[in-house]
Amino acid sequence: MLNPDNTKNILNGNIDQFLDNLYYLDLKKTTFRIPVSEFSLIDEKLILDILKKYPSKKVEIFKLHNLAKRKYEILNKDFYHDEISDNQLSDFKDKLNQVVPTVIIEMV
């Protein structure tokens, strides 16, 4: 999720701070992990642009799962979860492979 409004409203986060922090990473040792949701599919172009600008060792993608559900309950936040098909996941991987040579689908 890279859209600033969605990041703020749904995650209560600041995407600009995240992007600023990328300057401090050794990207040759960095693996980006991307949860694939409706938001990451919508933000696909933004994700590709970031991966071009900040090339990493590899990218791991995975479907959202309910492991974080308890965390959201503790924070009194709604747990966001959508269904992504295997085809959507595979298509997303193919698009990422256009800019990142190593993209792995993680099964969690």
Average pLDDT over residues 1-8: 79
Please, is 99 exposed, middle or buried when counting C-beta atoms within 10 Å of its C-beta (0-12, 13-18, 19+)? middle
pLDDT exceeds cutoff 80 at 64: no
- How far CA 85 is from CA of 6, 8, 14, 41, 88, in Å, comes to 22, 26, 28, 12, 5
Task: Name the token pair of 12.
Answer: 């209560």
31-36, strands of its sheet edge to edge: 31-36, 58-63, 103-105
C-alpha 102/C-alpha 77 separation (Å) is 34
pLDDT exceeds cutoff 70 at 80: no
Residue 95 confidence (pLDDT): 93
pLDDT exceeds cutoff 80 at 66: no
User: 104 falls in which pLDDT band (50, 70, 90)?
Assistant: confident
Span 26-53, pLDDT tens digits: 988 989 888 888 888 888 999 999 899 8
Residue 79 confidence (pLDDT): 66
Written as one string, the DSSP assignment of 29-74 is G-EEEEEESHHHHHTHHHHHHHHHHS--SEEEEEE--GGGHHHHHH
Q: Quote the pTM value.
A: 0.76
